[in-house]
């Protein structure tokens, strides 16, 4: 346990890895403003929520910042035009996850004018209520910029019963990624003000901005911005040791507070809410300046890139376009990763567009990713146990999943695996452990879905059965009543009599 400069006592978390961070490679120069490409592919539903309905027609001219899709609720993040131009239509375009999949995108043909709509700030936000601020953030298209793209409004709104602390995550713990560090260096005021906006939205009385220990320049920049902007003195800058996956939401909370998010709960249950620093800056842009989210900082880096650097890129720009502005690939570049090397996704092609969650494009060469020959069996060396930040037994999880023992895997808390990759990184048998866990989670979800489906079907079957039984019983009852009527001798006789007389009458 150590004490940070802000006087907050830090707690740390178990496991994790110390890594070479390689961040300076892309930090030597300030971010370049990426060229606006001729064609942009703006994903509809690039967030985790539902897909919004289209608000533009093919052929229509749109301006930068104009909403292209509607937002029916907090989970639907609207997409905005990232520049002015003509909507060509909706196309299926390659997406990053799952590998080889595609997603509906609005194809926008830039007219080169980059004309914007009138900015629509939220005037006087310092005295507005949380409802107004959250609605404005939702209209501005905010989603988590740290990578998960969780709808910001959905995270903020809710009857959480006393959120006291907003945590801003500036601990960019994966190697190579530097866009958040860059942002904190060049726009510290936007982050401090964004922090105040988000804090107001959830009525949090305290903001902790977590940065990694070696980020000295960043700390100084944020500190001086804080002194200028934060008159209420609610913001604190906290330096935390650089241990991967320190920037994971759960590990960050544990480091700062010593508390653990309950496995079936949310940070809000602890009175906390966590946002990325870039999300705070975007909140400032949306609320104070009136600009929806149409661009972000992206790190384009790695040994496979000739001139690594950060770009301020419009959402919808194809990766290939950024890479060519970073000097292009080296001849040995064989792997393209979205995100960091520990938990990023390998991309099949660079046609995939930048989304709100794209923080880093990493190109690696063959010898940096080589995982030699077939894997060996697990030798139970427990290196994975020692580095797992979630307190799992990765080797037993792997064995359970590989043997199709899903229930055992669930019992070993498979769903608490955060897929940080620490275990796979240290495994001497080179087992792709995280792939196995994903596979296991998928199978378990399917199985549970199957079970739910089966339960539903069973309930439907039983309902139908009881309906049929009831109908049958009624029929029986009716028949019974009729038989009884017939059986009652007098009545039966008179009925017969009557029938005979009726027949006679007809004859007559």
Partner 1 sequence: MKFELAGAPHLPPAQSVAGMMRQVLYALVPAIAAHWWYFGWGIVFQIVLAVGFALLFEAIMLRLRQQPVKMFLGDFSAVVTGVLFALCMPPLAPWWIAAIGMLFAIVIAKHLYGGLGFNLFNPAMVGFAAVIIAFPIDLSNWLAPRPLSPGLPGLAETARAILAGQLPPGLSWDAISQATPLDALRTGVQDNLTVTEIRRDPVFGNFGGLGWEWIASWYAIGGLWLIYKRVISWHVPVATLVTVIVLSTPLWLLGPDTNPSPPQHIFSGALVLAAFFIATDPVSGCSTLRGKLIFGAGVAVLTLAIRRFGGYPDGVAFAILLMNMAAPLIDRYTRPRTYGHRR
Q: Which of 363, 383, 412, 441 binds ligand SF4 (CB under 6 A)?
A: 383
Q: Which of 366, 369, 381, 471 binds ligand SF4 (CB under 6 A)?
A: 381
Asked if 170 contacts 256 with a C-beta cutoff of 8 angstroms, the reply is no
* CB atoms inside a 10 Å sphere around CB 80: 24
From residue 427 to residue 466, the character string flagging contacts with ligand SF4 as x (rule: CB under 6 A) and all else as - is xxx-x-xx--x-----------------------------
Torsion of CA 199, 201, 205, 208, to 10 degrees: -20
Q: How many Å apart are CA 486 and CA 32, to the nearest integer?
A: 97
Q: How many Å apart are CA 503 and CA 508, to the nearest integer?
A: 9
Q: Which residue has the tokens 């064989």?
A: 334
Q: How many Å apart are CA 15 and CA 383, to the nearest integer?
A: 10
Pick 108 or 177: Cβ nearer partner 1: 177
Asked if 341 contacts 304 with a C-beta cutoff of 8 angstroms, the reply is no
- Is residue 332 a contact point for partner 1 (CB under 8 A)? no
Cα distances (Å, whole numbers) of residue 217 to 203, 324, 396: 30, 29, 43
Q: Which of 334, 405, 408, 410 binds partner 1 (CB under 8 A)?
A: 334
Shortest distance, CB of residue 407 to partner 1, whole angstroms? 16
Q: Which of 419, 436, 440, 441 binds ligand SF4 (CB under 6 A)?
A: 419
Q: Choose the stretch contacting partner 1; rule: CB under 8 A; options: 210-218, 227-235, 334-342, 441-449.
A: 334-342
Residue 346 contact, options ligand SF4, partner 1, none, Cβ 5-8 Å cut-off depending on partner type: partner 1
- Is residue 168 a contact point for ligand SF4 (CB under 6 A)? no
Shortest distance, CB of residue 266 to ligand SF4, whole angstroms? 18
- Is residue 420 a contact point for ligand SF4 (CB under 6 A)? yes
Asked if 345 contacts 361 with a C-beta cutoff of 8 angstroms, the reply is no
- Is residue 101 a contact point for partner 1 (CB under 8 A)? no
3: which residues sit within 8 A by CB, 6+ positions away?
9, 10
Q: What number of CA atoms fall less than 13 Å from residue 35's CA on the CB side? A: 12
Cα distances (Å, whole numbers) of residue 226 to 21, 123, 212, 219: 27, 22, 17, 10
Residue 336 contact, options ligand SF4, partner 1, none, Cβ 5-8 Å cut-off depending on partner type: partner 1
Q: Could you tell me which residues are beta bridge partners of residue 346?
A: 337
Locate all alpha helices (DSSP H) within 388-432, ordered by sequence: 394-402, 406-411, 422-426
- Is residue 119 a contact point for partner 1 (CB under 8 A)? no
Asked if 168 contacts 195 with a C-beta cutoff of 8 angstroms, the reply is yes
- Is residue 394 a contact point for ligand SF4 (CB under 6 A)? yes
Q: Which of 189, 418, 438, 444 binds ligand SF4 (CB under 6 A)?
A: 418
Pick 165 or 395: Cβ nearer ligand SF4: 395
- Is residue 378 a contact point for ligand SF4 (CB under 6 A)? yes
Q: How many Å apart are CA 432 and CA 441, to the nearest integer?
A: 15
- Using left for φ > 0, alpha for ψ between -120 and 50, and beta otherwise, residue 327 falls in left
- Is residue 327 a contact point for partner 1 (CB under 8 A)? no
- Is residue 401 a contact point for ligand SF4 (CB under 6 A)? no
Q: Which of 126, 380, 494, 497 binds ligand SF4 (CB under 6 A)?
A: 380
Residue 331 contact, options partner 1, ligand SF4, none, Cβ 5-8 Å cut-off depending on partner type: none
Q: Choose the stretch contacting partner 1; rule: CB under 8 A; options: 180-188, 261-269, 480-488, 498-506.
A: 261-269
458: which residues sit within 8 A by CB, 6+ positions away?
none
- Is residue 435 a contact point for partner 1 (CB under 8 A)? yes
- Is residue 409 a contact point for partner 1 (CB under 8 A)? no
Residue 206 contact, options partner 1, ligand SF4, none, Cβ 5-8 Å cut-off depending on partner type: none
Q: How many Å apart are CA 441 and CA 445, to the nearest integer?
A: 6
Pick 194 or 341: Cβ nearer partner 1: 341
Q: Could you tell me which residues are beta bridge partners of residue 443?
A: none
Q: What number of CA atoms fall less than 13 Å from residue 254's CA on the CB side? A: 19
Residue 6 contact, options partner 1, ligand SF4, none, Cβ 5-8 Å cut-off depending on partner type: none
Shortest distance, CB of residue 240 to partner 1, whole angstroms? 17
Asked if 185 contacts 221 with a C-beta cutoff of 8 angstroms, the reply is yes
Q: Choose the stretch contacting ligand SF4; rule: CB under 6 A; options: 47-55, 83-91, 420-428, 457-465.
A: 420-428
From residue 10 to residue 39, the character string flagging contacts with ligand SF4 as x (rule: CB under 6 A) and all else as - is ------------------------------
Q: Which of 317, 346, 313, 310 is nearest to 43 (CA)?
A: 317
Helix axis angle, 433-487 to 394-402, nearest 10°: 50
Q: What number of CA atoms fall less than 13 Å from residue 227's CA on the CB side? A: 5
From residue 276 to residue 315, the character string flagging contacts with partner 1 as x (rule: CB under 8 A) and all else as - is ----------------------------------------
Asked if 17 contacts 426 with a C-beta cutoff of 8 angstroms, the reply is yes
Residues 482-501 binding ligand SF4 (CB under 6 A) are: none
Shortest distance, CB of residue 408 to partner 1, whole angstroms? 12
- Is residue 396 a contact point for partner 1 (CB under 8 A)? yes
Shortest distance, CB of residue 9 to partner 1, whole angstroms? 20
* Interface ranges with ligand SF4 (CB under 6 A): 378-384, 387-390, 392, 394-395, 398, 417-423, 426-429, 431, 433-434, 437
């Amino acid at each position: 346990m150590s004490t940070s400069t802000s006087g907050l006592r830090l707690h740390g978390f178990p496991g994790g890895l110390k890594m070479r961070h390689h961040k300076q490679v892309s930090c030597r120069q300030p971010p370049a403003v990426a060229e606006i490409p001729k064609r942009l592919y703006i994903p509809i539903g690039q967030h985790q929520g539902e897909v919004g309905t289209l608000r533009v027609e093919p052929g229509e001219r749109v301006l930068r910042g104009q909403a292209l899709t509607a937002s029916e609720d907090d989970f639907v993040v609207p997409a905005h035009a990232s520049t002015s131009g003509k909507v060509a239509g909706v196309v299926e375009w390659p997406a990053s996850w799952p590998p080889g999949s595609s997603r509906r995108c609005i194809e926008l043909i830039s007219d080169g004018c980059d004309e914007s709509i009138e900015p629509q700030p939220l005037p006087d936000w310092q005295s507005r209520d949380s409802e107004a601020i959250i609605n404005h953030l939702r209209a501005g298209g905010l989603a988590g910029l740290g990578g998960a793209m969780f709808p910001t409004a959905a995270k903020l709104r809710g009857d959480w019963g006393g959120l006291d602390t907003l945590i801003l995550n500036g601990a960019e713990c994966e190697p190579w990624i530097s866009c958040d560090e860059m942002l904190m260096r060049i726009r510290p005021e936007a982050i401090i003000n964004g922090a105040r906006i988000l804090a107001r939205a959830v009525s949090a009385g305290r903001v902790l901005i977590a940065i990694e220990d070696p980020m000295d320049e960043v700390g100084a920049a944020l500190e001086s911005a804080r002194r200028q902007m934060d008159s209420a003195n609610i913001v604190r800058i906290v330096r935390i040791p650089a241990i991967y996956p320190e920037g994971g939401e759960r590990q960050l909370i544990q480091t700062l507070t010593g508390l653990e998010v309950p496995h079936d709960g949310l940070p809000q249950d602890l009175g906390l809410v966590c946002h990325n620093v870039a999300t705070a800056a975007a909140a400032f842009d949306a609320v104070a300046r009136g600009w929806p989210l149409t661009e972000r900082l992206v790190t384009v880096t790695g040994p496979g890139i000739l001139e690594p650097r950060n770009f301020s890129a419009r959402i919808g720009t194809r990766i290939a376009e950024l890479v060519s502005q970073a000097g292009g690939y080296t001849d040995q570049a064989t792997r393209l990763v979205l995100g960091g090397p520990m938990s990023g996704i390998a991309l099949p092609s660079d046609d995939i567009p930048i989304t709100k969650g794209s923080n880093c494009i990493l190109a690696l060469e063959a010898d940096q990713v080589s995982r030699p020959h077939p894997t060996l069996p697990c030798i139970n060396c427990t290196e994975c146990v020692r580095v797992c930040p979630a307190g799992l037994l990765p080797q037993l999880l792997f064995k359970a999943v590989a043997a199709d023992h899903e229930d055992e895997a669930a019992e070993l808390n498979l769903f608490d695996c955060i897929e940080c990759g620490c275990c796979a990184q240290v495994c001497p048998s080179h087992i792709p452990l995280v792939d196995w866990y994903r596979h296991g989670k998928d199978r378990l979800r399917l199985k549970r879905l199957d079970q739910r489906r089966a339960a539903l079907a069973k309930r439907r079957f039983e309902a139908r059965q009881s309906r049929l039984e009831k109908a049958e019983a009624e029929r029986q009852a009716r028949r019974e009543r009729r038989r009884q009527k017939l059986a009652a001798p007098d009545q039966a006789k008179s009925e017969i009599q009557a029938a005979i007389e009726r027949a006679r009458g007809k004859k007559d």
